[in-house]
Structure 1
């Protein structure tokens, strides 16, 4: 997900596809121009504060030692501790971590949270390792990060191919490195933990629920019902599943799904829980789901539908496939799924895009609730969490939608403008350390 280095194809005259870092910088610079961002603050926000790369050895089940590379990029902490996920994926590198960390800065600022932005992970394919190996890798990575994370400094969370179990290992390892009297006070070094280990009820569904809420709020603004609306989901992990689950509850119909293994379709509708239960016994894959037909990978985004939810990886919707999209609404469940050129084409066609820093921010809002719960020694019930999440997400949506309408700009630019202006205000009020 860093800049793709494909060579120029002389036959089709295609230029190399821009990477995530290119996209986030174009988006930032466009919004900075819109709000006339102070040049000095623009310089600060254009770079990261810290970039940590660690190489560490781990003994495998067969006795061999493998060397892994881990990353943690801390973009900005003007508003509070760095906050952002850790992903385990072959595409993880320093450029991807930079882009994702910057997106987290805008996301936490837009949501009105007392956080900055950070991101990282390990460059690996977790499917190639046993559960015991993944535990040792995670614990060794946590130890290697040492004092670069902490509950008031940098707070990781789950991301692609990491989950509550991963966070439990990190929390336990981190707390083990603290003096005995401080260990329980450091439980909130990570969020997204299991319920029994300081986790928040409902954190598992927070991101997907937030995606659903943004779609619902948009439909309400348009005086439209979600009942009968057809939608497609790319990525049927935690985010994609919960977004689909709540949309189905509103009467919407899932008609196509794509994951890392393949694509399936059923114009009459795919039952969300039936597909979810199938993946649990099919190694996490949607392939060969009985009540579906195979869909060509390249044809997925062109499926006839009303709503498209890219909830997998970045740079999935580009100028190469944007023209095939039939949906009138794209709700970005993933970070950076639409690149700049693809977005321009979609906006020209009148397609509405609910931007990632707004649409999938339910996860970091849920993380904030968990962090507060741990900090204050409280236990929140599921209905309380969902009500708080609903309120927070609606506040953010309304701010962005109304700013967009007032200024005559797309929702992404509006979201960036609001986020950047909040950070700028903090710098102006505090000044720059000499």
Structure 2
């Protein structure tokens, strides 16, 4: 199952900040609060490496197409670069740079021995056959050559990529290694299928983490999820699993939006019924029989307790933040709330669980898979989920308590914790030469 994408109408795009403007504004706010060492600040404001590759691929009809792929490696002070590869028309160098920086903060906050990287191909995968996507993926992997590796840079699935994509990358990468090294390089990517070194539970880990952080927040308020209503933008892997677990705790899904449209039913939408419908309807929720079509531009104004943007970035802006009815926004996507939108939400008393905390279940599970492959082990689901619970609870508690102590919003608290850990590593090690 791939991640569905959702975009706001083009006429609203001019009201959005650029993605790099957002990530730098967030970084600078936190850096100011912790009085970040100015020399380390200079380092963290830039990326280590920005790789752009152009490569030809033969299509099914015999024609040749040229594709552009990206991999940005932001920082590796804490360990190998880690982050997803997405296949989407919006992929460009600025998007990859911003996403790579977010991954640096995310892995640091989670206490993982990783840095941050991100990339992908500027492509609409729906326009290509499965065999064409395989050739594109394998050629992209070959073009990246020595820029990825299990101890250097470890890709994972992201928007419009999945476990099959990772299996193709792993196979291609291992095929380029000397024979004696091939089986030792299986952990060059994470998010692989179970039968190819993947981790049981990796498919649900990101959505499960979104659910857990929501649950932890309500527990801090001495409340349960029973009877709470929620809306989800993007009903792909993250949106589906978050909804699945929330419904299991008694919460009610009342509206969903995907790339094709929006639906609403204040009496509740059964998660499994919607999932089965989309699976049989080319991924689309349009004409789902147990809900009414709703205005796509007014989605975030739907009455609910919890809003989960789990599609693309830049969805909640100054144009629609005033309409948000939820008291809690849980960021299943990366960067779904821009700086201007966030300011409005905070002024209105809306709590935001930031992306680098809320959707970090995926990279934590990726770390477990990497360890499993490295050690030649196989972890079963009943081992994986408790480990995930523990790591996410630790991260949530750190952010919650720092936020309370320093009287700041969750995102700034999360950034402060993440950046301090990297600053400490640089201070202890020094900077060559």
TM-score, normalising length: structure 2:
0.97
Alpha-carbon deviation of 1:19? 1.5
Structure 1: distance between partners of 2:255 and 2:372: 38
Alpha-carbon deviation of 1:15? 6.7
> 1:330-367, CA deviations, whole angstroms, 9 ceiling, x for partnerless residues?
00000000000000000000000000000000000000
Match of 2:206, SS state, is helix
Structure 2: distance between partners of 1:145 and 1:17: 32
> 1:225-284, CA deviations, whole angstroms, 9 ceiling, x for partnerless residues?
100100000000000000000000000000000000100011100000100011111001
Aligned length: 426
Matching residue of 2:245: 246
Match of 2:89, SS state, is coil
Matching residue of 2:186: 187
Matching residue of 1:68: 67
> 1:129-181, CA deviations, whole angstroms, 9 ceiling, x for partnerless residues?
00000000000000000000000000000000000000000000000000001
Structure 2: distance between partners of 1:64 and 1:347: 52
Structure 1: distance between partners of 2:16 and 2:205: 32
Counterparts of residues 360-399 of structure 1 (less than 5 Å):
360-399=359-398
Matching residue of 1:89: 88
Mapped contact 2:15–2:317 kept (Cα < 8 A): no
Alpha-carbon deviation of 1:17? 2.1
Matching residue of 1:38: 37
TM-score, normalising length: structure 1:
0.97
Match of 1:58, SS state, is strand
Matched, 1:105 2:101: no
Matching residue of 1:311: 310
Match of 2:207, SS state, is helix
Unpaired runs of 5+ residues, structure 1, are none
Structure 2: distance between partners of 1:15 and 1:390: 40
Matched, 1:51 2:57: no
Alpha-carbon deviation of 1:299? 1.0
Alpha-carbon deviation of 1:16? 4.5
Match of 1:334, SS state, is coil
- Structure 1: 4+ residue segments shifted above 6 A: none
Match of 1:233, SS state, is strand
Structure 2: distance between partners of 1:175 and 1:389: 29
Higher relative contact order (CA 8 A, sep 6+): 2
Structure 2: distance between partners of 1:175 and 1:71: 20
Structure 2: distance between partners of 1:21 and 1:236: 26
Structure 2: distance between partners of 1:230 and 1:217: 16
- Residues 90 and 181 of structure 1: CA distance in aligned 2, closer, same or farther (over 3 Å): same
Matching residue of 1:228: 227
Matching residue of 2:137: 138
Matching residue of 1:129: 128
Matching residue of 1:157: 156
Structure 2: distance between partners of 1:272 and 1:15: 34
Structure 2: distance between partners of 1:17 and 1:322: 12
Structure 1: distance between partners of 2:390 and 2:383: 11
Counterparts of residues 329-348 of structure 1 (less than 5 Å):
329-348=328-347
